[in-house]
Amino acid sequence: MTATLEPTKAAAKAAAGPSPADVIRRAKDAGVQVVDVKFCDLPGTWQHFSLPLSQLTEDVFTEGLGFDGSSIRGFQAINESDMLLLPDAASAFVDPVLQVPTLSLTCDIADPITGERYSRDPRYVAQKAETHLKKSGVATTAYFGPEAEFYIFNSVRFDQNAHEGYYHIDSDEGIWNSGSNGSANLGHRPRHKEGYFPVPPVDKLQDLRSRIMLALIAAGVDVEVHHHEVGTAGQTEIDMRFDTLTRMADQVMIYKYIVKNVCAQNGYTATFMPKPMYGDNGSGMHVHMSLWDAGQNLFFDKAGYALLSDSARWYIGGLIKHAAAILAFAAPTTNSYRRLVPGYEAPINLIYSKRNRSAICRIPMYSESPQSKRVEFRAPDPSSNPYLTFAALLMAGLDGIKHKIEPPKPMDVDLYELEPAERKHVKNTPGSLQESLAALQADHAFLLEGGVFTQDLIDTWLAYKRAKEVDPVALRPHPYEFFLYYDC
């Protein structure tokens, strides 16, 4: 489920945003005592520090706040560590999860010597992608609507060292607790893969999701719906209304922050890992996209397949052609490829369809309105950096339009019921992070167009992922290997 992609006058007005003076005045009126400045590291995690409200002057918005870039993942070397944060006045909101009244500001990053924006700042990449879209002449605005799923557990334990490696998840809602003893067991739990839409008491998280939703709304995030997802043990989805590329990425960061904090405050733990549990659905982040110009949705054509225009079809062609490289950003963890496997509605097939949820590109058919026509790219997951993921998706789609790339013919059949001779013509997504990184290394010229991504950022991403994630996971014994091989 996701928003209908239709721009509004209110959204356009909000895009102008308040001035620094407005932000400071409103903060004082709201009784704010602390200002929290946040920015995104290269892998996609928010970092922050705080200052008294008295230190937030209008000059801070233009002169910036200094920080050590060498201590941030994927950023500077120790001999060039000084960096600046430039708060974005339009990002301001009063934090709804902190007890001390606190103003939250999302920041851009700049070099204090040159004054130029920092090329490895993920938010800058997203902003450059939006600028590139306008300069391309294809459209003026790209709308994005992600569906970020997650799990809510009661507890989690994990460790990894030289002599042990394990994880242990528990959830009162997990079907495995149907036989537990020691306290009153009241039953009513969703079975594996049967968590979609049951009412309480099977759905034990209704009020918690509502608290999360209300906190998101208090932070300025438009929420359309919340519900239990397919997995047992608390799989959840809360859908945000679409927005422009950078603003939507900002809201994904807010979303993850508020989800984790509201859960923690209520005695739960939330995770956006793509596949935290074996044998049940993983958590994806399906991304809905459309391009607009002069108030018109460029993806609609009443004569096209699934009401798609030529531009929309070519956009899909670009997404499919570059899918393997895109996944280096959109499915960026070794755990991502526990989810991208056959079954569990996993979108591993490099096709498009108006029905098939295992297709990497799906065309939602809930409405025939021109305003609702959009493309859903289903392979991303919420472990990704939304700024880089959305930018990469847009750049691939624009490459498809530029070169009029035709995707494979649409397939509306159940791919798992195809005969082997038919199935062999359908290509799949990469089977590991290593494969996706290799694809990005071989295919990234489309990302460099307009200077949106830089070679330095791509090289840094590849080196970081291989050294910090791929190799460390590959070198460690897996617990299941003891089950398979201990008696060899």
pLDDT tens column, 12-71: 444 568 999 999 999 999 999 999 999 999 999 999 999 999 999 999 999 999 999 999
Range 343-348 average pLDDT: 79
Residue 48 DSSP label: E
Rounded to whole angstroms, the Cα distance separating 297 from 318 reads 19
| Region(s) of the chain under CATH 3.10.20.70 | 9-117
Give the pLDDT of residue 421: 75
CATH topology of domain 9-117: Ubiquitin-like (UB roll) (3.10.20)
pLDDT digits (tens, 9 = 90+) for 173-229: 999 999 888 788 888 999 998 889 899 899 999 999 999 999 999 999 999 999 999
Number of H helices and E strands in the chain, helices first, is 16, 18
Give the pLDDT of residue 234: 94
Beta-carbon contacts of residue 477 (< 8 Å; ≥ 6 apart): 165
By C-alpha distance, which of 4, 18, 126 is closest to 373? 4
Start-to-end C-alpha separation, the chain: 48
Residue type, 393: L
pLDDT category, 462, cuts 50, 70, 90? very high
Rounded to whole angstroms, the Cα distance separating 396 from 405 reads 10
Give the pLDDT of residue 99: 97
Range 159-184 average pLDDT: 91
Q: Contact, 397 vs 318, CB < 8 A?
A: yes
Torsional class of 419: left (φ above 0), alpha (ψ -120 to 50), beta (otherwise): beta
Range 134-162 average pLDDT: 96
Residue 161 DSSP label: -
> What is the distance, to the nearest Å, from the Cα of residue 399 to the centroid of all Cα atoms in its chain?
22
Give the pLDDT of residue 7: 47
pLDDT digits (tens, 9 = 90+) for 403-461: 999 999 998 877 767 777 777 788 999 999 999 999 999 999 999 999 999 999 999 99
Give the pLDDT of residue 15: 53
Range 2-11 average pLDDT: 46
CA atoms within 13 A of residue 475's CA, in its CB half-sphere: 10
As a whole-number percent, the residues of the chain with pLDDT over 70 amount to: 95
Question: Looking up tokens 């870039």, which residue turns up?
Answer: 69
**pTM recorded for the entire structure:** 0.94
Rounded to whole angstroms, the Cα distance separating 329 from 436 reads 9
By DSSP bridging, strand 359-362 and strand 102-110 are: unpaired
The CB density around residue 212, as the number of other CB atoms within 10 Å, is 27
Structure tokens at 297: 């949705």
Rounded to whole angstroms, the Cα distance separating 309 from 218 reads 38
Q: If residue 445 lies in a helix (H) or strand (E), which one and from where to where?
A: helix 445-448
- What CATH homologous superfamily does 141-485 map to? Glutamine synthetase/guanido kinase, catalytic domain (3.30.590.10)
Catalytic (active-site) positions: 68, 147, 149, 229, 237, 286, 357, 376, 378
By DSSP bridging, strand 359-362 and strand 349-353 are: parallel
pLDDT digits (tens, 9 = 90+) for 347-404: 999 999 987 778 999 999 888 898 999 999 999 999 999 999 999 999 999 999 999 9
Structure tokens at 415: 């791919």
Dihedral angle sign, alpha carbons of residues 328, 330, 332, 335? negative
Beta strands in 55-208 (DSSP E): 65-68, 82-87, 93-94, 102-110, 141-153, 155-160, 165-170
Average pLDDT, the chain: 93
Q: Contact, 445 vs 325, CB < 8 A?
A: no
User: What pairs with residue 285 in β-bridges?
Assistant: 148
Question: Looking up tokens 């020691």, which residue turns up?
Answer: 182
As a whole-number percent, the residues of the chain with pLDDT over 90 amount to: 83
| Region(s) of the chain under CATH 3.30.590.10 | 141-485
Rounded to whole angstroms, the Cα distance separating 98 from 209 reads 18
pLDDT category, 10, cuts 50, 70, 90? very low
CA atoms within 13 A of residue 269's CA, in its CB half-sphere: 12
Beta-carbon contacts of residue 161 (< 8 Å; ≥ 6 apart): none
Give the pLDDT of residue 8: 47
Residue scoring higher pLDDT (477 or 421): 477
Range 101-125 average pLDDT: 96
SS3 at position 314: helix
User: What pairs with residue 145 in β-bridges?
Assistant: 288
Rounded to whole angstroms, the Cα distance separating 233 from 263 reads 14
Q: Contact, 238 vs 209, CB < 8 A?
A: yes
By C-alpha distance, which of 149, 160, 51 is closest to 100? 51
**For the packed helices 323-330 and 455-465, what is the interaxial angle rounded to 10 degrees?**
70
pLDDT category, 9, cuts 50, 70, 90? very low
Range 301-311 average pLDDT: 95
